[in-house]
């Protein structure tokens, strides 16, 4: 009884569902996949009968834990440099950046040029994280007021109306209600490619699923592209 | 104009302090009382750390506390010098710093007082480096430095070395010493330092007068015990007085009504068996305690007349006295002083 | 018995020293001069020093009267206020930062009026970082000083009483008797508060954000450097260690109780 409680607690902590009969692959994933991965996991468990254990976090931290020997079956990240050497990874989704504002566009932002305005509060990702690298790759004039350590933090700033404009992922505007995309802006020149790195046989099976049509459909629904 | 004039009452918790007291500019008054009588509270009242509930207090002729008119002068404006029982020297200041603390105290005055109290060599020491006697002297110097109208001393001689006691006495008895009120539980200290005694028991004055008067005519058990005397309450009619326990005491002279019977311990003679002879008051008693006192032994007795007898150690040995022994006691009627209450 | 206690004490020392040893052992000593001299490091150091020192000052000014009110008066509601004081210590710093955001952010409870009436916004500013640091550091100071006031209450009362009979008016008594008596506790409390303000991360990043040169403190810079440039992270850690030791070591014997 005690052992089952611990296992349940452990699963709950890792953000998984309630089924504990057959634990599926342990998947480490970048936090920007927080909304889509549970849907993918559900589809997978219907198909395979096992429940994946999902662990979200900053890619760098997950990579460090991997390196220290955490029992992981698959690693999903937008930063290819973090994938262990010798592992064959595969691209399974893409995300591009969009210009976002709090719902209703209270500061009446019109386009990317507004990112350079000093009278507006601009939130972007820090250059050390993947979304930040992509943002800087856009080459836009930026006058940021804060460089957040994760894209979710940027989203939160916009939702709370603490920032007037920011750069987030296309998937974020789709999923989060409190932010809108600024229409007519194309930031697709820089984006993020998600790669799936299988580390075990179980992981392999999961990664195969990720590149299947069924998975692609779910990904599209959440705003990801191929 | 008196230095201090108090006629008032204040209540603190369980204690009700109700005192009439006057101190003239050139006198030293000792307030004597057992622990819990309210002595320290009295001093705090005079200093302004407590206030009256009714009555009035004047210092140097000026009213400082009068609830009736709402007058109250806070401590820092009263010209009193308080030397507390614990001395309460400021730990972060040197001896000289302590003595010179009061506003307006100049270096000359500090030097003069340090000299008078033999503290010059200690001027730069910290309080925790001073002995008890030295600390007491510092506290006194500090209080005197502000040139108070009345000096308030709390148990000044407690735990003092001979040199300190000598120096302090010298300063207190000097001509320029201010009016002084000291509180103590030690009758010897009171008698030595004071011109006048006031006895405080349970917050009220039970007796006042010169040390000699108070000692020779004690009005309460406490005062009597201070003087080392036995005191019993009784009701006299003619030459017989009946005590609270119902014992009949024969008096030398007739008296009427409520009286205090005072018997010196040396007048209580102890015998192994019932004596005959002239003593009119004879009874059997049990020994409850034996207390050495200088070169005598005080034998505490219970029985119909609970008194203390004072005998030589040889007598104790001869009579084989031990706690619990039975002994016969006798007191002559002429040795029983009887004072109407 | 003594050996038993010493063994456990030794274990505690190991626990404390091990991370430092690990840090020093991995230090890229040869690249240090470059890493320490560049803008990122210097900016972060400047921001950290300004934030922590100003926060300490605010803590002193606000915390001393609060400690006095809690430790020396009989005002009602003291127990509630005491619980409030402990709150920032038990709240996870990020939660504290989020709470500050909801209260003082641009759309916050009070913050929206600050913005509307004075054009004053706290998030993304150095002032905001100072507010976050003050919030988490205040309890350390108040608890230290209130504790000293409570344990020494009788003694302070007595000393103040004597001082006033000697003719010192209330303000002089406060200045010459009460405050000096409290100085050791105030110093110890302030040192702790400053150290806490220096190391503050969660509340700062949640409330004030992160901008190099304006709100990026040493802890923030270190965290980000861990993501991409571990060597820089080590160098920044060394800077923080050095700053902390430089301030706290000289104070250890003088200000902490025992004097």
Cβ burial B84-119 (10 Å sphere, 16+ → b, else e):
bbebbbbeebbbbbbbbbbeebeeebbeebbebbbb
| C167 dihedral zone (left: phi>0; alpha: psi -120 to 50; beta) | left
**By CA distance, what is C166's nearest residue in B?**
B102
Can you give B178-193 as a three-state secondary structure string? Answer: CEEEEEECCHHHHHHH
C neighbours by CB contacts (3+ pairs under 8 Å): A, B
Is pTM beyond 0.90 here? no
Task: Please say if the pLDDT value at position C118 is more than 60.
Answer: yes
CB nearest to A145's CB, from C124, C223, C227: C124
Query: How high does pLDDT run on average in chain A?
Result: 85
Q: Determine, yes or no, domain membership for C71.
A: yes
CB nearest to B101's CB, from C166, C170, C181: C166
Within 8 A by CB and 6+ apart from B187, the residues are B32, B215, B226, B227
Number of domains in chain A: 2
Q: What CATH number should be reported for the domain holding residue C75?
A: 1.10.3720.10
Which domain covers residue A104, as residue numbers?
95-181
Ranges of chain B with pLDDT below 70: 159, 341
Physical contact, A and B (3 or more Cβ pairs within 8 A)? no
Can you give chain C as a three-state secondary structure string? Answer: CHHHHHHHHHHHHHHHHHHHHHHHHHCCHHHHHHHHHCHHHHHHHHHHHHHHHHHHHHHHHHHHHHHHHHHHCCCCCHHHHHHHHHHHHHCCHHHHHHHHHHHHCCCCCCHHHHHHHHCCCCCCCHHHHHHHHHHHHHHHHHHHHHHHHHHCHHHHHHHHHHHHHCCCCHHHHHHHHHHHHHHHHHHHHHHHHHHHHHHCCHHHHHHCCCCCCCCCCHHHHHHHHHHHCHHHHHHHHHHHHHHHHHHHHHHHHHHCCCC
Measured CA to CA, the distance from residue B335 to residue B312 in angstroms comes to 19
Number of domains in chain C: 1
Same domain, A12 and A79: yes
Q: Determine, yes or no, domain membership for A206.
A: yes
Number of H helices and number of E strands within chain A?
Answer: 8, 9
Task: Given CATH 3.40.640.10, say whether it is the number of domain B4-226.
Answer: no
Residue B320 tokens read as 């084989």
- Asked if the Cβ–Cβ distance from A126 to C224 is below 8 Å, we say yes
- Bridge partners (DSSP) of residue A99 are A167
CB nearest to C163's CB, from B48, B80, B101: B101
Same domain, A150 and A202: no
Q: Determine, yes or no, domain membership for A226.
A: no
Which residues in chain C have their CB less than 8 angstroms from residue B48's CB?
Answer: 164-165
Is the CA virtual torsion C72, C78, C79, C80 positive or negative?
negative
Query: CA-CA-CA-CA torsion for A154, A158, A160, A161, nearest 10 degrees?
Result: 140
- Asked if the Cβ–Cβ distance from B78 to C165 is below 8 Å, we say yes
Same domain, A77 and A118: no
Q: Which of B210, B199, B211 is nearest to B39 (CA)?
A: B199
Length of chain B: 341
Q: Determine, yes or no, domain membership for A187.
A: no
Physical contact, C and A (3 or more Cβ pairs within 8 A)? yes
Predicted pLDDT at C258: 43
- Asked if the Cβ–Cβ distance from C166 to B143 is below 8 Å, we say yes
Residue B239 tokens read as 């030459």
B228-340 CATH fold: OB fold (Dihydrolipoamide Acetyltransferase, E2P) (2.40.50)
Q: What CATH number should be reported for the domain holding residue A155?
A: 3.40.190.10
Which residues in chain B have their CB less than 8 angstroms from residue C182's CB?
Answer: none
Same domain, A134 and A164: yes
Do residues C43 and C212 touch, judged by C-beta distance below 8 A? Answer: yes
Measured CA to CA, the distance from residue C30 to residue A37 in angstroms comes to 44
pLDDT grade for C259, boundaries at 50, 70 and 90: very low
Q: What percent of chain A has pLDDT over 90?
A: 27
Same domain, A116 and A170: yes
Domain boundaries, chain B: 4-226, 228-340
Q: Which of residues 96-135 of C touch B (CB under 8 A)?
A: none
Which residues in chain C have their CB less than 8 angstroms from residue B101's CB?
Answer: 163, 166, 168, 176
CB nearest to A149's CB, from C101, C105, C205: C205
pLDDT, one tens digit per residue, over A136-171 is 888 888 899 999 988 889 999 999 999 999 999 888
pLDDT, one tens digit per residue, over B102-132 is 888 889 999 999 999 888 888 899 998 988 8
Within 8 A by CB and 6+ apart from C102, the residues are C108, C109
Measured CA to CA, the distance from residue B197 to residue B181 in angstroms comes to 10
Query: How high does pLDDT run on average in chain C?
Result: 89
Same domain, A76 and A124: no
Task: Please say if the pLDDT value at position C120 is more than 80.
Answer: yes
Same domain, A104 and A146: yes
Do residues B114 and B86 touch, judged by C-beta distance below 8 A? Answer: no
Q: Determine, yes or no, domain membership for A186.
A: no
Q: What percent of chain C has pLDDT over 90?
A: 54
Instruction: Centre a 10 Å sphere on the Cβ of residue C16 and count the other Cβ atoms it contains.
Output: 9
What is the average pLDDT across C186-198?
A: 91
pLDDT, one tens digit per residue, over B163-176 is 888 888 888 888 77
DSSP H helical segments within A32-120, as ranges? 37-48, 59-67
- Asked if the Cβ–Cβ distance from B146 to C167 is below 8 Å, we say yes
Task: Please say if the pLDDT value at position A35 is more than 50.
Answer: yes
Which domain covers residue C139, as residue numbers?
55-215
């Amino acid at each position: 009884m005690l052992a089952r409680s611990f296992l349940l607690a452990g699963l709950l902590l890792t953000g998984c569902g309630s089924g504990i009969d057959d634990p599926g692959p342990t998947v480490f994933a970048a936090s920007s996949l927080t909304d889509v991965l549970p849907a993918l996991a559900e589809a997978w468990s219907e198909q395979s009968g096992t429940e994946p254990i999902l662990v979200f976090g900053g890619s760098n931290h997950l990579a460090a834990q991997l390196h220290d020997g955490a029992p992981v079956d698959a690693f999903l990240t937008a930063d290819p440099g973090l994938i262990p050497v010798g592992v064959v990874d595969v691209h399974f989704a893409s995300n591009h950046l969009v210009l976002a504002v709090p719902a209703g566009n209270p500061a009446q932002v019109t386009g990317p040029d507004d990112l350079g305005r000093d009278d507006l509060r601009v939130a972007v990702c820090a250059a050390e994280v993947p979304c930040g690298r992509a943002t800087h790759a856009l080459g836009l004039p930026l006058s940021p007021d804060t460089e957040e350590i994760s894209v979710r933090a940027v989203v939160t700033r916009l939702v709370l109306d603490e920032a007037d404009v920011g750069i987030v992922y296309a998937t974020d505007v789709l999923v989060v209600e409190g932010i809108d995309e600024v229409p007519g802006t194309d930031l697709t020149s820089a984006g993020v490619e998600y790669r799936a790195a299988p580390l075990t046989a179980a992981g392999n099976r999961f990664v195969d699923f990720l590149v299947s049509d069924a998975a692609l459909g779910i990904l599209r629904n959440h705003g990801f592209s191929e | 104009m008196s230095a201090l004039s108090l006629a008032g009452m204040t209540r603190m918790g369980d204690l009700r302090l109700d005192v009439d007291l006057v101190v003239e500019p050139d006198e030293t008054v000792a307030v004597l009382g057992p622990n819990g009588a309210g002595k320290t509270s009295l001093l705090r009242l005079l200093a302004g750390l407590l206030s009256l509930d009714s009555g009035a207090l004047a210092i140097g002729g000026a009213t400082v506390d009068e609830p009736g008119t709402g007058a109250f002068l806070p401590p820092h404006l009263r010209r009193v010098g308080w030397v507390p029982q614990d001395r309460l020297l400021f730990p972060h200041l040197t001896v000289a710093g302590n003595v010179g603390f009061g506003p307006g105290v100049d270096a000359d005055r500090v030097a003069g007082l340090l000299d008078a109290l033999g503290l010059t060599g200690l001027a730069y020491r910290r309080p925790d480096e001073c002995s008890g006697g030295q600390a007491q002297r510092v506290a006194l110097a500090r209080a005197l430095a502000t040139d108070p109208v009345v000096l308030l001393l709390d148990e000044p001689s407690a735990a003092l070395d001979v040199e300190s006691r000598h120096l302090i006495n010298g300063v207190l008895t000097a001509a320029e010493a201010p009016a002084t009120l000291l509180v103590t539980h030690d009758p010897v200290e009171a008698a030595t330092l004071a011109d006048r005694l006031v006895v405080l028991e349970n917050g009220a004055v039970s007796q006042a007068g010169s040390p000699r008067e108070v000692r020779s005519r004690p009005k309460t058990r406490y005062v009597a015990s201070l003087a080392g005397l036995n005191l019993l309450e009784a009701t006299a009619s003619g030459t017989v007085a009946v005590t609270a326990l119902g014992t009949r005491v024969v008096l030398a002279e007739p008296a009427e009504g409520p009286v205090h019977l005072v018997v010196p311990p040396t007048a209580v003679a102890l015998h192994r068996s019932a004596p005959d002879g002239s003593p009119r008051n004879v009874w059997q008693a049990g020994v409850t305690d034996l207390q050495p006192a200088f070169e005598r032994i005080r034998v505490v007795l219970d029985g119909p007349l609970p008194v203390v007898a004072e005998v030589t150690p040889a007598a104790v040995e001869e009579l084989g006295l031990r706690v619990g022994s039975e002994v016969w006691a006798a007191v002559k009627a002429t040795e029983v002083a009887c004072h109407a209450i | 018995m003594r050996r038993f206690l010493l063994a456990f004490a030794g274990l505690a020392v190991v626990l404390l020293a091990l991370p430092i040893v690990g840090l020093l052992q991995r230090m890229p000593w040869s690249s240090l001069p470059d890493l320490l001299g560049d803008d990122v490091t210097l900016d972060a150091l400047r921001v950290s020093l300004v934030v922590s020192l100003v926060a300490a000052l605010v803590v002193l000014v606000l915390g001393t009267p609060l400690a006095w009110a809690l430790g020396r008066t009989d005002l009602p509601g003291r127990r509630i206020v005491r619980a409030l004081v402990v709150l920032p210590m038990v709240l996870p710093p990020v939660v504290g930062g989020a709470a500050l955001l909801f209260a003082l952010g641009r759309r916050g409870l009070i913050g929206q009026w600050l913005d509307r009436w004075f054009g004053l916004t706290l998030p993304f500013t150095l002032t905001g970082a100072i507010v976050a640091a003050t919030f988490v550091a205040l309890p350390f100071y108040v608890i230290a000083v209130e504790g000293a006031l409570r344990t020494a209450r009788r003694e302070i009362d007595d000393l103040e009483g004597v001082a006033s009979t000697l003719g010192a008016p209330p303000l002089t008594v406060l200045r010459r008797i009460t405050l000096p008596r409290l100085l050791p506790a105030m110093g110890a409390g302030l040192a702790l508060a400053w150290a806490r303000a220096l190391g503050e991360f969660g509340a700062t990043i949640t409330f004030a954000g992160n901008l190099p040169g304006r709100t990026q403190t040493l802890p923030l810079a270190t965290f980000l450097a861990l993501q991409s440039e571990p060597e820089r992270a080590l160098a920044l850690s060394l800077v923080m260690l050095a700053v902390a030791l430089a301030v706290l070591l000289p104070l250890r014997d003088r200000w902490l109780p025992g004097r």
